[in-house]
Amino acid sequence: MCTKSLHWPYLDGQNLTALLLEIKDVNVHKYMATENFMAFSKKNIKSYNLDEFTARIVDLGLKKYRAGQVFEWIYKNHASSFEEMTNIAKSERALLANSFHLSCLKIIRTETSKDGTKKFLFELHDGHTIESVLIPDEDRLTLCISSQVGCQQACRFCLTAKGGFTRNLRSWEIADQVLAVSRLLKEEGERGITNIVLMGMGEPLANFDEVIRALRVITSGRGLDFSTRRVTLSTAGLVPFIDALGKSGVKVNLAVSLNASTDEVRDRVMPVNKRWPLRELLAACRRFPLEPRRRITFEYVMLKGVNDSAEDALRLAKLLKGIRCKVNLIPFNPFPGSAFERPEDAAVRRFQKILLDHRYIVPVRESRGRDISAACGQLREREAHGKETRDEERTTNDEGRETKDEE
């Protein structure tokens, strides 16, 4: 029996006892003896929102306001144990520690690129690993986080797809990536994270409920308190879930990985297109309830000789007509064994110019941290003609000029 195939946190106390009696495997016994395992027989405090946790606190005989204090310790002060919560009486801290598990992601490896990009490898409780990438820029520090272990979408140009799909992340495993990195930055006296993008491993909309829960924690004033303007979810184009995201009330930015200008090519490079072809995808984008002064980002990974022609650019300009958007051009970032090539710079510039001539905002984004292979959609912005710029929160005024939002 393999311990890694069991999902311990989903067991309640009773099932646990039954399972202990059933299992004879020596390694499993060893694993169960660990503090880690015992912790998972309690419910993770991060699986509750503040209202739910308040109810649990009251059940335990504690004052209601303790719930807010505990949440502040966890999400504002990045506490990783109840011991750290020094404005709570020792006896109450002990009661909390006996009643709840406080999850923390273990950073097992970090790599720093020459360009300042930092990659974190986290180990999950069941031994699987995920990564996040921290991307510094002049006035922002963006953390790119994962939503699944692996991915089911099978995009042909994507490294994550090659490894297949293992499982969805729970909401706290998504938010814990932000917490773990924030905690580390604080310890090192560094500036904090300013932006979050769900562009790491996985398809966020294929793990809808947990991702929405995580986004609520990330954007709530009683959670990590990020402005929704500074959080972006990127999808391969799961149409019903784009609609559901629009209706969820979680007003984060939407990015859509388009990557082709015809169904024929998109079918080939992104199998999800066979289920929801371009017409349906773009209709969902047109009806998406965009906040004022926001745009949908269309990501377009440029693959040499596949989707980088002038005809593609013209078709794209036509397809996106009437959608308040910008187009991020991403020259393909090759990896060993990949079937595609990066286009020549001239082809990228030609493509960009055609879209610029059609009055689109068209930054070219380079993958950051190439020397540490942070290639999982960790992309840098390089604007027209090599000029560095940030336009995530730019918008266009009535005369068609760009202006910058407050944030």
Helix and strand totals (H; E) in the chain: 15, 17
- Minimum CB distance to ligand SAH smaller for 161 or for 224: 161
- Minimum CB distance to ligand SAH smaller for 345 or for 357: 345
What value does the CA radius of gyration of the chain take, rounded to a whole number of Å? 23
Minimal distance, residue 301 CB to ligand SAH, in Å: 4
- Footprint of ligand SAH on this chain (CB under 6 A)? 153, 157-159, 199, 203, 234-236, 257, 259, 299, 301, 330, 332-333, 367, 375, 377
Which position among 92, 131, 210, 299 bears the catalytic label?
131
Q: Which helix or strand (DSSP H or E) is residue 100 part of? A: strand 100-101
The answer to whether residue 144 is catalytic is: no
Please give the structure tokens belonging to residue 32: 């169960």
Beta carbons within 10 angstroms of residue 398's beta carbon:
5
Which position among 158, 285, 325, 376 bears the catalytic label?
376
CB 407 within 8 A of CB 395: no
* 298 closest CA partner among 269, 261, 247, 250: 261
The answer to whether residue 131 is catalytic is: yes
Minimal distance, residue 340 CB to ligand SAH, in Å: 8
How far is it, in rounded angstroms, from Cα 386 to Cα 383?
6
- Minimum CB distance to ligand SAH smaller for 74 or for 144: 144
The sign of the torsion formed by the CA atoms of 302, 305, 310, 312 equals: negative
Name the residue with tokens 């336009």. 391
- Minimum CB distance to ligand SAH smaller for 174 or for 301: 301
Minimal distance, residue 49 CB to ligand SAH, in Å: 25
Minimal distance, residue 337 CB to ligand SAH, in Å: 11
Strand order in the sheet with 364-367: 106-112, 118-123, 129-136, 141-144, 195-198, 231-235, 253-257, 296-302, 325-331, 364-367, 379-382
Minimal distance, residue 198 CB to ligand SAH, in Å: 7
Angle at 237 between CA 215 and CA 304, to 5 degrees: 120
How far is it, in rounded angstroms, from Cα 131 to Cα 379?
15
Which single residue brings its beta carbon nearest to ligand SAH? 377
Amino acid of residue 334: P
3-state secondary structure of 203: coil
How far is it, in rounded angstroms, from Cα 181 to Cα 236?
26
With b for 16 or more beta-carbon neighbours within 10 A and e for fewer, the 226-253 pattern comes to beebbbbbbbbbbbebbeebbebebbbb
Minimal distance, residue 299 CB to ligand SAH, in Å: 4
- Minimum CB distance to ligand SAH smaller for 85 or for 215: 215
- Minimum CB distance to ligand SAH smaller for 96 or for 260: 260
Cite the active site residues: 131, 376
